[in-house]
Every structure is written in structure tokens, then in C-alpha cells.
Structure 1
Amino acid sequence: MPSAEFRHRLFDAGFRAIVASGADRWLKRVAQGHGLILTFHHVDPAPAGAYAPNGLLSITPDFLDAVLGTLVSRGFDVIGLDSVAERLVRPAGDRPFVVLTFDDGYRDNARYAVPLLRRHRVPWTLFVTSDFAEGRGRLWWIELERAIGRLDRVRVPADEAPALDLPAATAEEKMVAFAALYRRLRAGSEERLLATIAVLCDEAGIGVGRMAEELCLSWEELRGLASDPLLTIGAHTITHPMLAKHGEARVRREIGEGRARIEREIGRPVRHLSYPVGDPTSAGMREFAIARETGFDTAVTTRPGHLFPGHADHLHALPRVSVNGLHQSRAALSALLSGVPFLAWNRGRRLSVE
């Protein structure tokens, strides 16, 4: 399997080739949908170090500013999620639209993204995980990063898979160890994933379940933001599970109660849902149906792609385009906004709703 570094170099080369060849312009009419939904996570000016396996989840404020400026200069209408259904069936001429979404509810969004969003006067959506807002819950991907950051070796005993014993003394070794363990844990049950990371955190002297209080917005902070008319607060479940790995009763509770908690705390209706992780192994047709039955107006995945008229019939399986912190370049942004990379990624299919 190619390394993560190799894949990202390949993506970079692809983005540059699309722009250098002009394909982002001459293929745009075929590839670009009526609009797209952009996904962000962290916004932080701190430069990534040599060991930063979650670096793809963080962009700088300067790059966010460049994204917002580019959207305006290229004729995109920046709209809220409430307007997506209507724009899919009633396009505004040749003007594409874009929706800005931020997942998980990180405190750095308020510190670094909000001033830019307000200066550009654009609507945006913040998807909140209710346990994170209460200062608990497992941001396990960050726990895993920090545990490996402190360990010189990563040892995992055999269970459903062979034992793992990997060096982790250097930044390069830590990156390799993180990637190997991440792939292994994502392939298994979520219970096994959380238990394994808890053991590694204990070995590294890191408190499990403490990252949310450090990194995520509290209910008090969220109530302060909620008065902003440009902001829509959406639901991101109670505990951020990979829903497809759990039984139906758990899924219904995560989706329904996660929304109810947010509504109680901020005093506003919550109409939009983001599936945690959001790929096909984490959210599928069962989850789409439950989101619809629970009464959400829309629900978003992380399946990559633009929005086309056919998505009007699948408002609970909407694709998004991730603004990746490892590709903070104008070439990457131009390629993604054109839709051209998704012609190959989705093998020509415009809808991925199963």
C-alpha cells in the first residue's frame, strides 16, 4: 500500500497538472456541479511539525482568507445550508454556489476563523458534537497522535490481527507507526479502537477523554456564537461514533439526542446533520434514512464531490469537498472548485448515495 506521503505527493502533482493544462477551465462545464460544500476542521496559524499525522485537518487563517477571496473572485455565491435544496432545483443562472462547513466544534474556529468569516460577511455552518461541548468524549485521532508522539515504540498485542511492534523514536518512525495503527484500528470495531488507544495513552501518561475540554468550544462559548445571524449550528451526534459500525438503536440515539442537546443549550432549532468520519464505512443508506426520518433538512457526508440536480432527491447523503491542510495551494483550490478531480475519483458518477 502506498505511503500517505506518496499519496499526497501524487495528489499535489495531479492538482498542478489540472491547473497547468487548463483543465480546471475547459473541463469545468462537465465537471462542476451547481455547487459544492466545503469541509474544514481546525484553523490555526501554528506551522505543522515534522510529526503531524492529523495535519490534513488544519489550515492557516491566511489560507482560509485566500479561499474566501477566491470564491468571490470566481463568481461563487456563498450560501447557507438552508438554501441548498432550493438552489439545486432552481439554479441562479451560471453562478455556482458554495457552502462553508466546520466539523467538531473546535475553539480555534472561534479565535481564527470567525473574524475572517465576519469580515467577508459569509454564512457558515458549525457542526457540534454534544459530548465535546460538555468537555468530555474521545477525540481519539488526537489521542492517538499525542500518545505516539510521547512513545519510543508502539506495541499492540495480537487480537483480531497480528501483534504490532513498531519503532517510534523519530518523527518519520512516528508517522509510519501512526499510519499503520490508524489503518488497523479503522478496519475493526470502534470498541477495539477506543480501548487500544486508551492503553497507549496510559503508557504515554496522557489522560483519556481530556482533549475535548482543551480543544473544543463549551456550551457557554457556543451560546455566544449562536447569536451571529451568519452562523448555522448543526448536529454532529453525541460522541462522534462511526455510525455504520453500531446497531440501529445506538444510531438513532446519537443522531436524535445529539440534536436535542444542542437545541436545549443554544435555544435554536437544529436542522442539519454531519455524519462523523462520514465515509461509506461510517455512514450509509441506513444512516441516511434515519437522518431523514429524524427530521433533518439535510445531512452531509465526507464522500467527495460536487452537488448536482440529482442530489435534490438525496438531501441526507450530500457529498463535500475537504479543504486539506496538506494541500494549501491555489492550484489545489482551483482544481477542487472546478470539480475535475472528482471525474476520476468518482469514475464519472455524479451521485454516491448508497
Structure 2
Amino acid sequence: MLSSDTKHRVFATGFRAIQAIGADRWMAPTSRGLGVILTFHHVSPDAPPAFAPNRLLSITPDFLDLTLRELDARGFEVISLDAVPERLAEPDYGPPFAVLTFDDGYRDNVAHARLVLARHNAPWTLFATSAFADQTGRLWWIELERAIARLDRIRIDIGARSVDLPARSPGEKALAFDAIYRDLRGGGEAELLARIAVLCRQAGFEPGQIASELCLSWADLRDLAKDPAVTIGAHTVSHPMLAKHPEAFAAQEIAEGRARIEAALDRPVRHLSYPVGDPGSAGPREFALARMQGFATAVTTRPGHLFAGHARHLHALPRVSINGCHQTRAALGGLLSGVPFLAWNRGRRLNVA
């Protein structure tokens, strides 16, 4: 299996090749679709340290600004998520559209992204996880990174297997993170949370402390919700990989996450983002739950652009992640053209099964 660094090098080579032959321009009318929903997480001016396995989730304010300028240069109209169903129902409307979405509810979205977005008069959606707004909840992917960053050796049991890996250098830490992340993601979420909690304590901190540092509180969200450019969406209660859990649990996470935001902000919540959002975390069962609970749209992290056929699948909408490992104009051009997704989705315009 390729390491994460190797995968990113392959992607970077592909983006440069698409740009070099101009495919991001001449293929765009066919591959681009009616529009695109972009996914962001962190926006921060801070340079990542040598060991930063979650750096793909963070971009700089300058790159966010470049993204918005590139959208404009390529003729995209930035619209709110509320407008997507109508735009998909009118395939001959005109220019392609783009929607800007930010997952989890991080403080840096307000501290750094909001200023850039306001400068461009861009509407945007923030998907809030209610346990993170409580300043609790487990941002386990960051807990895992921080634990490995502090430890010189990683000793942990995963299932019936004992893991014992060196973690002295940034390279060793990256290999340990990749190995543990891969194995834990492949199993149940209860074990994932329990094993990462063990590593947190070995590293000298308690699990569940990071949300108060990184995530917006309810007071912060109430203040943000006053901004007419901002739509607040739901991202469940505790950010679980829903498809790994019984249906009743998944339904409750979706419903309660929405209800808590509506109660705190005194406004309806019309949009849902599935945590993690890949096929192993959200599938047809979750799409049906979101539809039955009356959400106008629900978004995945399945990569792709939006086509007219998505009007019949508003609760399984794909998104395009703006990746912190690829903060280049070539990467933006490729992603906004839709060309990479022709191969990724094997020529399919819809990936909703």
C-alpha cells in the first residue's frame, strides 16, 4: 500500500500533467458539470511542523484567496448551499456554480477564513458538530497526531495484534501514524476511540480536550449565525462514522445534532454533512435517513462535480476537497475542471450507491 506522502506526490504529478497539456481548459466543458461543492476544514497562516499527517485538512488564508480568485477567473458563480436544489433543477441556467463548505466548526474559520470570504462577498456554509460546540467530543484524528508527536515509541494493541513502532524522527512518526490510522479505520469505532485514548494518556494528556482549543463554542456559533453570508449546517452530535453503527444510533446522531443547533441558534437547519463522508461512513442507508428527516441537502466526501442527475440524489451530493498538501494553481485548475474525477469515478457522473 502506498504511503500518504507517495500518494500526494502522485496526485501532484497528475495535476501538473493536466495543466501542462491544458486539459483543465479544453476538457472542462465536458468534465466540469453544472457546479461543484468545495470542502474545507482548517484555514491557518501557520506553517505545518515536520510531522503533520493531518496537514491535508489545512490551507492558508492566501490559498483560500487564490481559490476564490480562480473560481472567478474560470467563470464560477459562488452561491449558497440553499440555492443548489434549484440550480440542479435548471441545468441550462448559465454559468457553473461553486459552494463553499467548512466541516466540523473550527475557530480558525472565523479567525482567518471569514475575512477572506467577506472580501470576496462569498456566501459559505459551516457544518457544526454539537459535541465540539460543547467543547467536548473527540477529534480523534488530531488526538492521534498529537500523541504520536509526543511519544518516541508507539505501543498499542489493535484487535489481537500488538503494535510496537519507533517514533523518534518525523519520518518514523509518519509511518506509525499511517499504520495505526489504517488499522483503526478498518475496524469498529469503539475500539478506535479506546485505543487512541490509551495513546493520549501515554502521551500525557486526556482525550476530549482538543475541542475547547480548536472548535467554536455555542456562543461563537450564535455570533457567527448573525452574519447573513453564513449558513450553519449539521454535522451530527459526536462526529461518528455513521455507517459503522446501527441504524437507530445513526438516526439519533443526525436528528439530535440538528435539533441542538436549531435550539441554540433559534433557526432551522436545512443541510447535513456526513462525518468523514466516504462510502464506508455514509451510504444509501444514511442518505435515506437524511431524506426522511427532511434535510434539503446532505453532502458526502465522495469526490466529484454536480450534474443534473444529482437533482434526484440531493442527500448524496459529492464534494471536492481543497487539500492542504496541494496548495497550487495547478491543483486548483485540475479540481475545478473536473478532469481527475473522470478517472476516479470511472466515467460515472453519479456515485450514489
Offset of residue 94 of structure 1: 4.0
Q: After the TM superposition, list the runs of 4 or more consecutive aligned residues in structure 1 that deviate by more than 2 angstroms.
A: 91-94, 157-160
Offset of residue 310 of structure 1: 0.4
Which residue does 2:44 correspond to in 1?
A: 44
Which residue does 1:28 correspond to in 2?
A: 28
Question: Residues of 1 paired with 2:253 and 2:9: CA distance?
Answer: 37
Residue 70 (structure 1) aligned with residue 70 (structure 2): yes
Q: Out of 316-325 and 111-120, give the one that drifted further.
A: 111-120
Question: Residues of 2 paired with 1:345 and 1:30: CA distance?
Answer: 15
Query: Residue 263 and residue 67 in structure 1: after superposition, are their counterparts in 2 closer, same or farther (change >3 A)?
Result: same
Cα deviation 1:91-113 (Å, max 9, x = unaligned): 35441000000000000000000
Which residue does 1:214 correspond to in 2?
A: 213
Please list, as runs of the form range in 1=range in 2, the aligned pairs for 1:136-285 lying within 5 A after superposition.
136-157=136-157, 159-160=159-160, 162-285=161-284
Offset of residue 164 of structure 1: 1.1
Question: Residues of 1 paired with 2:71 and 2:3: CA distance?
Answer: 32
Give the root-mean-square deviation of aligned CA atoms: 0.8
Question: Residues of 2 paired with 1:163 and 1:200: CA distance?
Answer: 13
Question: Residues of 2 paired with 1:29 and 1:93: CA distance?
Answer: 15
SS in 2 for 1:99: strand
- Which residue identity is paired with 2:126? L
Offset of residue 49 of structure 1: 1.2
Question: Residues of 2 paired with 1:257 and 1:301: CA distance?
Answer: 19
Query: Residue 158 and residue 247 in structure 1: after superposition, are their counterparts in 2 closer, same or farther (change >3 A)?
Result: closer
Residue 4 (structure 1) aligned with residue 26 (structure 2): no
Q: Out of 206-215 and 98-107, give the one that drifted further.
A: 206-215
Which residue does 2:91 correspond to in 1?
A: 91
Offset of residue 229 of structure 1: 0.7
Question: Residues of 2 paired with 1:106 and 1:158: CA distance?
Answer: 30
Gaps of 5+ in 1: none
Which residue does 2:305 correspond to in 1?
A: 306
**Cα pair 2:158 2:183 within 8 Å, conserved:** no
Which residue does 1:54 correspond to in 2?
A: 54
**Cα pair 2:304 2:320 within 8 Å, conserved:** yes
- Which residue identity is paired with 1:110? V
Structure 2-normalised TM-score? 0.99
Offset of residue 163 of structure 1: 1.6
Offset of residue 73 of structure 1: 1.8
Which residue does 1:130 correspond to in 2?
A: 130
Question: Residues of 2 paired with 1:157 and 1:90: CA distance?
Answer: 53
- Which residue identity is paired with 1:121? N
Which residue does 2:340 correspond to in 1?
A: 341
Question: Residues of 2 paired with 1:320 and 1:313: CA distance?
Answer: 16
Offset of residue 29 of structure 1: 1.6
Structure 1-normalised TM-score? 0.99
Cα deviation 1:47-100 (Å, max 9, x = unaligned): 011100000000000000111111112211100111101111213544100000
- Which residue identity is paired with 1:165? D
Gaps of 5+ in 2: none
- Which residue identity is paired with 2:39? T
- Which residue identity is paired with 2:172? E
Question: Residues of 1 paired with 2:277 and 2:106: CA distance?
Answer: 18
Offset of residue 157 of structure 1: 2.2
Which residue does 1:116 correspond to in 2?
A: 116
SS in 2 for 1:157: strand
- Which residue identity is paired with 1:258? G
Offset of residue 158 of structure 1: 5.1
- Which residue identity is paired with 1:41? H
Count the aligned residue pairs. Answer: 353
- Which residue identity is paired with 2:342? L
Question: Residues of 2 paired with 1:29 and 1:263: CA distance?
Answer: 40
Question: Residues of 1 paired with 2:158 and 2:132: CA distance?
Answer: 31
Question: Residues of 2 paired with 1:148 and 1:93: CA distance?
Answer: 50
Question: Residues of 1 paired with 2:288 and 2:125: CA distance?
Answer: 22
- Which residue identity is paired with 1:204? A
**Cα pair 2:153 2:164 within 8 Å, conserved:** yes
SS in 2 for 1:163: strand
